[in-house]
Amino acid sequence: MNITDVRVKLVKKDELKLKAVASITIDDCFVVHDVKVIEGTDNYFISMPSKKTPDGGYKDIVHPLNSQTRELIKTVVLEAFRKAQDEALTATETQGDTEE
């Protein structure tokens, strides 16, 4: 399995633990939307797409079947998230430079 594309949309509200939402493309033929990047107490982690159950809980609707695949998805999504953060920071700094 190859993750052939990752698209990240940063969440702009600083007070939220949700920091981004990602879509991943697997082998150029299967897309998974709504992979969430969440800020934990020590680091960031991902949460797979889920739906609310009648009892108020949540259940993943898409998820990896083994830890190796979960780790691959986590690594690729968090890498793309950090890149998107860096690009946003650079864009903000560049805008600040042009306003002076």
pTM score of the predicted model: 0.86
pLDDT over 80 at 3, yes or no: yes
Q: Length of the chain, please? A: 100
8 A C-beta contact, residue 69 and residue 75: no
Read off the pLDDT of residues 55-76 as tens digits, 9 standing for 90 and up: 999 999 999 999 999 999 999 9
Does residue 43 surpass a pLDDT of 60? yes
> What does the alpha-carbon distance between residue 47 and residue 34 come to, in Å, rounded to a whole number?
9
Identify residue 58 by its one-letter amino acid code: Y
Identify the pLDDT of residue 13.
82
Q: What pLDDT score does 89 carry?
A: 86
